[in-house]
Chain A
Amino acid sequence: MKTVLKLLGYELRNVIRSRWVIIYALLFLLLTDALFRFGGSGSRVILSLTNVVLALIPLVSIVFGTMSLYHAREFIELMLAQPVSRRSLFVSLYGGLAIPLAGSFILGVGIPFAYHNAILGQEAGFAILLGTGILLTFVFTALAFMVALRFQDRAVGLGAAILLWLFATVLYDGLLLLGIALLHDYPLETPVLGATLLNPVDLARVLLLLQFDMSALMGYTGAVFERFFGSRTGTLVSLGALTLWAVLPLLRGLRQFRRKDF
């Protein structure tokens, strides 16, 4: 545990020094501020931010996560020759990346909300936006580690990571809609429900939209979820499923990491 904290502290310093997380935070800051200046009220800004959160957080987390694990190869070799267990090292590498990424997002969105005095009255929406963004960061950093450990070649790994992002954010919904269109004569509620659980981005979307009572806007998936679960249960189920989406790839990554030869 002490080793984890030491390594984590070191990793955090290193990631923050790389400046990428600062640029990432500034991006959210500028965007959120701009939305306030153009759009006005807090609820509308939150709604506008949902689509950014759903696309940008997975992309940045998976690309940054994959690259940084390939980049850490020498560091891993150096550390594993010390009295450091593989589990401690893996946990520190993961935390050292996911925590600053999530922190950048929280600050980048939170600061404009604070100085525009927009949190009051929007507590629930604001909390769910931040919570979803944090969870997505942890999910896609875990997926990134899984991908980077699976492929030796970093070009292949990066390609696989981007494909995975594309699949989760765009292709999956397209295929789902295609399936629904082709099979519109059949009762599809339950299968669609299951299909939503299988994609973390869809889960995050349901989470956000159930909260804002905007399920109708997002068509079939949201409507089905609301009808089946009602708002509260739906939120809990999708929260739990999204957490699983972070935990399972992380455990799989740890298994790969413990078996890997360096």
Chain B
Amino acid sequence: MTAPIAAPALQLLGLGKRFGRLGVLEGIDADIGAGRVTAIVGPNAAGKSTLIKCVLGLVRPDRGTILVRGQVIGTDPAYRLAIGYMPQGAPFPENLTGREILRLLRELRGGVAELDEELIHLFNLGPELGKPIRTLSGGTRQKLNAVVAFLFRPSLVILDEPTAGLDPLASAILKEKIQAAADRGVTVVLTSHIMSEIEELAADVIFLVEGRVHFHGTMEQLRSTTGEQRLERAVATLMRARVA
């Protein structure tokens, strides 16, 4: 289980988090390579979203350290300028329109010379931006969610179940966007339950079970470790090994 070769864009050192009596993260160590696509996989309630929310500062870890591009994240929120985030389920304020949300984010972030509005056009989202969020379908919200993640040309993109709720066409557009970003050297961290999607996009895999890293390595290493060519089977083998 060697770490990726590239310099880490994101480092997790002994990350631990409990919710009451329930241990969600039980000491996570991981170096996530810059310019690579890393997929976090694992069964439900393995701690994937909690891990991501710790990096964003939405969840306060009980112990451990997080470094974004070599800097320990503390109380200064400026490090989030470099991060584009797509949370699970597109939680946007219901009364605002998409355009108002984008404007507010622009005011808060400032400083970006040229916004990346490509996804607005590709999703044909223009006509929907004037409507309040509460009137939008789940899929449309998820499209807006993707727009926000890439809008400020972040160097680290964190996507929690990015294609959930998207139709096949939109899903393909988003995957192309992720791939193109990775090709430009953007670091991508994503979670997904769709194994084919991860096979398509990810170079590295972190397999998380019950708050612990069970496997971390490249896709090839995963295949050779488990002796399975298909990711779905490889993950199943890992999970069985874990149960046994």
Contact = CB atoms under 8 A, between A and B. Distances in A.
B108 A81 contact: no
A74 B91 contact: yes
Contact of A6 (B58, B76, B85, B107): B107
A7 B107 CA distance: 9
B77 A83 contact: yes
B95 A77 contact: no
Contacts of B108: 3, 6-7, 79, 82-84
Given A74-B93, A85-B77, A262 B109 contact: no
A80 B58 contact: yes
Given A72-B93, A74-B93, A85-B75, A259 B58 contact: no
Contacts of B101: 78
Interface string A1-26: 00100110010001001100000000
A83 B106 CA distance: 11
Nearest to B145: A78
A80 B59 CA distance: 10
A235 B87 CA distance: 51
Interface string B77-113: 1111101010100011111100001001101110000
Given A10-B104, A261-B53, A78 B92 contact: yes
A18 B95 CA distance: 9
B33 to A, nearest CB: 23
A18 B94 CA distance: 12
A65 to B, nearest CB: 17
Interface in A204-262: 259-262
A79 B79 CA distance: 14
Nearest to B158: A81
Contacts, number: 63
A82 B80 contact: yes
Main secondary structure of the interface of B (DSSP, over half): mixed
A10 B103 CA distance: 10
Task: Give the size range of B's interface with the partner.
Answer: 20 to 34
Interface residues of A, number: 24
A78 B93 contact: yes
A115 interface: no
Contacts of B59: 261-262
A17 B95 CA distance: 10
Contact of A83 (B81, B93, B104): B81
B170 interface: no
Interface in B5-38: 19
B56 interface: yes
A261 B91 CA distance: 15
B57 interface: yes
Chain B CB within 10 Å, residue with most, of A3, A79, A81: A81
Contact of B80 (A3, A72, A81): A81
Interface in B152-204: none
A186 interface: no
B77 A74 contact: no
Given A3-B108, A259-B60, A262-B53, A84 B93 contact: no
A14 B103 CA distance: 14
B94 A261 contact: no
Given A6-B107, A261-B19, A80 B57 contact: yes
A38 interface: no
Contact of A82 (B19, B60, B109): B109
Contacts of A78: 91-93, 101
Contacts of B104: 6, 10
A165 B16 CA distance: 39
Nearest to B104: A10
Contacts of A10: 104, 107
Contacts of A75: 93
A102 to B, nearest CB: 22
Given A74-B94, A261-B59, A262-B53, A81 B85 contact: yes
A80 B85 CA distance: 11
Interface centre among A75, A80, A82, by most B CB within 10 Å? A82
A83 B76 CA distance: 8
Contacts of A72: 93
6 contacts: A10-B107, A77-B87, A82-B109, A83-B77, A83-B109, A262-B59
Interface of A: 3, 6-7, 10, 14, 17-18, 72-75, 77-85, 259-262
Ranked 10 nearest A-B pairs via Cβ: A74-B91, A75-B93, A261-B59, A81-B85, A262-B58, A83-B80, A83-B77, A85-B77, A83-B81, A74-B93
Given A81-B56, A83-B78, 9 more contacts: A6-B104, A6-B107, A73-B91, A81-B58, A81-B83, A81-B85, A82-B80, A83-B77, A261-B59
